[in-house]
Structure 1
Amino acid sequence: MDGGPKKFYHEHNFDSRDHLKTYYSDKPDMEFADDCLKFPMMNFHYIFSSGFVKGDVLLDVSTGSLIHHLYPTCDVFKDIIILKLNEGCKMETSKWKNTCTGAFNWKHASSQAAMLDGKSAQVQDKDQQLKTAISHVMSCNFENENITHPEVLPLADCVTSLWVLGAISKDEDGYMRNMEKMSKLLRPGGHLILVVALNASYITIGGERFHIFKCDESFVKNALSKLGFVIDYCAVQTKRNDSKLTDYKAIMFITACKTK
């Protein structure tokens, strides 16, 4: 393993397929299944089946080529736009959406989503429903004030994000700036949904360590409050594996409403 300085997800080469195989695959002994797959999906299902997050347009800004958390959202949102910071991750996601040969197999995630819906026999329908709901897979860049520059998107009713703020933020000020840019994608009254690795400093991908900004639950909640969000729901799960590939202590799922 590389013992040098940690790399940054948005600045250095990022092997999206290795990331998926290591942390999101369907292998029986996949040690991150509870934290990375099941916990986010159960909470997304709860939020979107409860009915208090509604609207037309959902933007997703997540690391890697993740789509598993979006299965519950397509029951509510018919226009889902996925934003990617890395070209490789954008291509990987598009390959899955377009059902291309060699695309990552998310059947285990669509099966979980169908089971949570109580419709375990309709796995293929769930998969196609999400692919149909995703209208665009686009590039974004947090160096720009408008992260989708030169495109100007309509304000979204919901923004979802797994791991991105921790992956791209170098310090507290950077975290606040990046969260504010994410907030600007939302209409007033819209919801921001984050999945955050708490007290983490790195994640290992392809034998190389990538940076994670170390933060705790109170920091994230205070950051949301400072930007005018009211927290609707929060769930925290303590790390359920002994892996040294990443050093997070817990996973937090948090939903907040933009008040201004």
Structure 2
Amino acid sequence: MSVIDLNSDVGESFGSWTMGDDAAVLAAVSSANIACGFHAGDPSVMAATCRSAVAAGATIGAHVAYRDLVGFGRRFLDCSPTELADDVLYQLGALDAVARREGGEVRYVKPHGALYNTIVHHEQHAQAVVDAVRAFSPDLALLLLPGSIALQKAEAAGLRGVAEAFADRAYTPEGTLVSRREAGAVLHDGDAVTERMVRLVRTGTLTAIDGTDIRIAADSICLHGDTPGAAAMAGQVRAGLEAAGIRIEAFA
């Protein structure tokens, strides 16, 4: 039987402002990427989300980001590698403290937004993230885009690198994500997305935005929680994978 992890970005509310239906998403996924306060989330949101993840049986991961609350972490920050490493370590420590109080712990790290995309190719920032994770715990896994420099650096540092694919995002022919600024970057058809993910797990291939087939080696599938209909799509994708004989299981 094929096995795949399903992960989603959660805990992205802030104060009285709410984003997504975390409870519904957590019921569908096996791994929870919880915001650590730098792009979204606050201490109380982090605590509540950790509590919900533990109750749902989802593995907790730290969704670390550039310090960009106003821009939701989707803007590149030209900070020094030292500053970035310190920021990542700070976020890891904060989330792990809250998670342990709620009966869980941080088991992996997934960078968010601009940081995630930057360390596909930015050597200094990729190394800074890897250094921070290793300093916190060499037992943590790093969830990253296949072929990224950060994935190579993680494995060179003795960390476990885990490659992921995105269910609700379009891909370029080069295997990177289509920019959210472009039409068609986010996919909304639940049936099409489900069929696409079943094919990915079975064959390791996806159709890029230009119609060509590309190979994607992934041990986890990301289902975003901040797009319209995301919770329903997460449940639909999980049901479709299980109906195809694919087991859902956390990688960490």
Normalised TM-score (structure 1): 0.32
Indicate the structure with greater strand content: 1
